[in-house]
Structure 1
Amino acid sequence: MTTTQTPATGCPYRLDGKGTDIHGEAAALRTLGPAARVLLPGGLPAWSVTDPHLIRRLLTHPDISKDAHQHWPAYINKEIPADWPLRIWVDVRNALSAYGPEHTRLRRPLAAAFSPRRVRALAPQIETITHTLLDDLQTSGPEEVVDLRARFAWRLPLLVVNAVLGVPEDLHDDFRDEVGNLFATNLSPEKAAQAPVAVYGLISQLIAHKREHPGDDITSGLIAAHAEGQLTEQELDDSLMLLIGAGHETTVNLLDHASVSLLLHPGQLAMATTGQIGWDRVVEEALRHQAPIATIILRFPVRDVHDEATGLTFAQGEAIAINYAAAGRDSGVHGQDADHFDITRGTVRDHLAFGHGAHLCLGAELARIEARIALAALFARFPGLRLAVEADQLRPLPSLISNGHEQVPVVLGPATA
């Protein structure tokens, strides 16, 4: 494969698969224009789009596809290595990677499960799960160091999505252990290939269980759609991978970063806990400031797409990555202090953290409800919660896709009654 050199640098910008400094990288990319030519892990060329206005135009453009099977010539011509570490993101056959009528068909059975009515009805169950996890946290001593990500931010969304999907309890821990590897972009080719195999194995067990024990859950609904010929076997498997993987990871990182940002800004935390600022604004600012999915891959022009506003042309079949982390900190939208966390800013809701257009995240409202309930309950139960390390000691996840921390060590302090 060949790529055109970036005029500003003389060569494409090589993205860091380890995700060492997502926002530093985003800032560097913004200096190259609204979109820059980059190299993905594995050396594959792509565009990284950082300008939020251009992102909105591309995400609603009828000639921008997410289907590598139809519209990525390098993939179709088998030029993409079989061991490319990000291959699972284009191999899958589900609503995340579909285009046009196929996207509509694959999204339809999922959309009903995430209707506003059904999502709102989950609030009491989310509250119960939240308080159960807080009770478990409280078994630790008030001055003991605990990992808030592992013990709370990671477990809550997984338990919620497991409830929505009807996952039996004996599979909970296995899904917890394997899902995160789908988002790691620093794995060796061998480990990257093993990650989806492990998750597919668990999905097969889930499907077998729900065929024997159907219920009022999304998995049973998808199995019924497959039985009626609406989904192929691969589409059934991949739709569940989408829900378990992407649906879970986004909320984990949202809770992770929102908690850390509030602990680093005690004045803003006080405004939230005293009711001066609603938890909804806290959640939206966390989404803007630290997009849970930093970069999403990939999209492909069905034909040459020229953007009049920027003068850029995206040639047919070129790979496009959307950099949500960069878009959330655009100074043209959020001002010169866009890098700062500020729940009082007027643009907290003007972000793209859940995408835009036809592929807007189906679980966005569920993630928001989970975060509002979880954050309010966490800081009410542990008003003296504090980080156990300096902020610069928090290690980012080794991923250019998933934006979170490996661990969030905290000291809980005394719990309220």
Structure 2
Amino acid sequence: MDGRPAVVIDAGMRDLHGQGERLRRAGPLVPVELPGPVRAWAATRHDTLRTVLGHPALSKELRHWADWRRGAVPGDWPLSNIVAAESLIAKEGGAHRRLRRLAGKAFTARRVLRLRPRIEEHARELLDGLAALAPGPADLRLRYAYPLPRNVICELVGMPRAWHADLGRLTDALVRVTDAPDYAAARMRVLRELFAEVIALRRREPGDDLTSALIAVRDEDGGALTGTELHDMVMTLFIAGHETTINLITNAVRALLSHPGQLALLRGGAMPWKAAVEETLRWDSPVAYFPMRYLVRDAEIDGVRLRAGQAVLACYAAAGRDPGRYGARAARFELSDPPLDHLSFGQGEHFCLGAALARMEAEIALSALFETFPGLALATPAEELEPLATPLSNSSRVLPVLLGSPAVPEGGRG
């Protein structure tokens, strides 16, 4: 793109943080090749990424991407589902503010706070199920980190519980890049049909949920949301509302079990659980790379000349371990209160709407888990766990643990 060879982003994610270090050393903005192949610039350092996330010459609107306009992006590129969605994620200016305002009416702080007792109930149900397996092994991602945010977001969007079972396999279609295109496309069609059914159900039977609220907003405003926008809004909020939280909980447990001294600070009350959540977000971001922002005009950022129509990839995991921002402790998992800042929920107008929900879910999940299983331990060293095979998500496919004996409740067994 500027004469330098592109760094190939490993779709297998076998060494995300090693690759992040190499990208940072190569410069603040580096030519990369995503699986596809698709070419882009990568914002590799904390301050550069912060600049990119709010730069007036960069837009999330797909129409500005020259490679997309001229057909250079493969038609079966799996990440097309992300970049081409008709949702607030891919809008700017007045269109973005309009969609965010409408989503905000349905995704209020009050509605999120009301979920706390339900999150605690969901966590307790899952922990009771794990207790039945104790002291033996269990896949904590499958049995805890995944179903907890899934159940919560399903409840939030108004999806009947009977529909939950197959969602994990279906939502993978949005982020995986390793499946055959026909298989991924088929799952995507099923997923879209499912959300159409959710919307139809909540039109017939409105409830105290996000989908019903968005439908009501649309109807009250005389069609403020088109049918496509409503569908994509519900689906996007659903995916964003649980996929990254699964990774956040998984990564936090993995980090704490690998750093017993830091876990002891939490158990002893020297640090709040939110410190573990925020340090995980920085040190092991649940989002590895996120596409894309596009140049609406030529611009220079951190000494690198970018051309109109080019794409910029956000490297959240690399930015979270940037020594230029965090100094000698950048690569260490080390709790602090207040926590170090990070960009894992984005910045500015596109700051994640679900950030408060994700933080609350992770704090509840961690504190309840470690209170219930004081002897919890990794069954496989963290460095040997197989990563998710997608540039979007950073986590492991499984989290094998030895549960140990559950804690005896206060008052004993009697």
TM-score normalised per structure 2: 0.95
User: Relative to 1, partners in 2 of residues 1:187 and 1:177: Cα closer, same or farther, differing over 3 Å?
Assistant: closer
What is the match of residue 124 of structure 2?
Answer: 131
1:114-193 alignment, distance < 5 Å:
114-142=107-135, 144-193=136-185
What is the match of residue 230 of structure 1?
Answer: 224
Matches of 2:264 and 2:59 in 1, distance apart? 44
| SS of residue paired to 1:48 | strand
Matches of 1:117 and 1:330 in 2, distance apart? 35
Q: Is the 8 A contact 2:296 2:309 kept in 1?
A: yes
Match of 1:370 among 322, 343, 361: 361
Q: Is the 8 A contact 1:41 1:85 kept in 2?
A: no
Specify the code of the residue in structure 2 equivalent to 1:243: L
Matches of 1:148 and 1:360 in 2, distance apart? 29
Match of 1:331 among 320, 323, 336: 323
Deviates more, 1:355-364 or 1:205-214: 205-214
Match of 1:59 among 30, 33, 53: 53
What is the match of residue 316 of structure 1?
Answer: 308
Matches of 2:395 and 2:215 in 1, distance apart? 33
Match of 2:31 among 32, 37, 43: 37
Matches of 2:185 and 2:2 in 1, distance apart? 29
Matches of 2:69 and 2:241 in 1, distance apart? 28
Q: Is the 8 A contact 1:175 1:202 kept in 2?
A: no
Once the two structures are superposed, residues 342-398 of structure 1 have per-residue CA deviations (whole angstroms, 9 ceiling, x without a partner) of: 113x78331101011111000001111111111000000000011111222211100
Match of 1:195 among 178, 187, 194: 187
Q: Is the 8 A contact 2:47 2:325 kept in 1?
A: no
1:267-286 alignment, distance < 5 Å:
267-286=261-280
Q: Is the 8 A contact 2:36 2:73 kept in 1?
A: no
Shift of 1:402: 0.4
What is the match of residue 9 of structure 2?
Answer: 15
What is the match of residue 44 of structure 2?
Answer: 50
Once the two structures are superposed, residues 311-365 of structure 1 have per-residue CA deviations (whole angstroms, 9 ceiling, x without a partner) of: 1122111011000000000011111231111113x78331101011111000001
Match of 2:405 among 382, 402, 414: 414
Match of 2:80 among 87, 98, 108: 87
Specify the code of the residue in structure 1 equivalent to 2:245: T
Matches of 1:257 and 1:48 in 2, distance apart? 24
| SS of residue paired to 2:166 | helix
Once the two structures are superposed, residues 45-80 of structure 1 have per-residue CA deviations (whole angstroms, 9 ceiling, x without a partner) of: 100101111111121122211111x21122223332
Specify the code of the residue in structure 2 equivalent to 1:378: L
Shift of 1:113: 3.1
What is the match of residue 208 of structure 1?
Answer: 200
Once the two structures are superposed, residues 201-223 of structure 1 have per-residue CA deviations (whole angstroms, 9 ceiling, x without a partner) of: 21112112111211121111222
Matches of 2:187 and 2:390 in 1, distance apart? 14
Runs of 4+ in structure 1 displaced over 6 angstroms?
A: none
Aligned pair 1:109/2:107, yes or no?
A: no
What is the match of residue 343 of structure 1?
Answer: 335
Shift of 1:187: 2.4
Shift of 1:302: 1.1
Matches of 1:359 and 1:187 in 2, distance apart? 29
Matches of 2:11 and 2:183 in 1, distance apart? 14
Q: Is the 8 A contact 1:257 1:404 kept in 2?
A: yes
Deviates more, 1:375-384 or 1:169-178: 169-178
Matches of 2:10 and 2:186 in 1, distance apart? 22
TM-score normalised per structure 1: 0.94
Matches of 1:141 and 1:272 in 2, distance apart? 23
What is the alpha-carbon root mean square deviation over aligned residues?
A: 1.5
Shift of 1:126: 1.0
Once the two structures are superposed, residues 114-166 of structure 1 have per-residue CA deviations (whole angstroms, 9 ceiling, x without a partner) of: 33333222211111111111111111131x21100010000110111111111
Match of 2:248 among 251, 254, 259: 254
Q: Is the 8 A contact 1:5 1:37 kept in 2?
A: no
Identity among equivalent positions (%) equals 41
Matches of 2:381 and 2:67 in 1, distance apart? 45
Deviates more, 1:325-334 or 1:194-203: 194-203
Matches of 2:104 and 2:340 in 1, distance apart? 23
Matches of 1:40 and 1:88 in 2, distance apart? 15
Matches of 1:115 and 1:237 in 2, distance apart? 19
Once the two structures are superposed, residues 172-223 of structure 1 have per-residue CA deviations (whole angstroms, 9 ceiling, x without a partner) of: 1122331123221222322332332221121112112111211121111222
Q: Is the 8 A contact 1:157 1:248 kept in 2?
A: yes
Matches of 1:192 and 1:303 in 2, distance apart? 34
| SS of residue paired to 2:196 | helix
Structure 1, unaligned stretches of length 5 or more? none
| SS of residue paired to 1:146 | strand
Q: Is the 8 A contact 1:261 1:341 kept in 2?
A: yes
Q: Is the 8 A contact 2:78 2:174 kept in 1?
A: no
Structure 2, unaligned stretches of length 5 or more? 410-414
| SS of residue paired to 2:99 | helix
Match of 1:384 among 375, 386, 392: 375
Q: Is the 8 A contact 1:291 1:353 kept in 2?
A: yes
Q: Is the 8 A contact 2:240 2:354 kept in 1?
A: no
Matches of 1:392 and 1:294 in 2, distance apart? 17
Aligned pair 1:361/2:352, yes or no?
A: yes
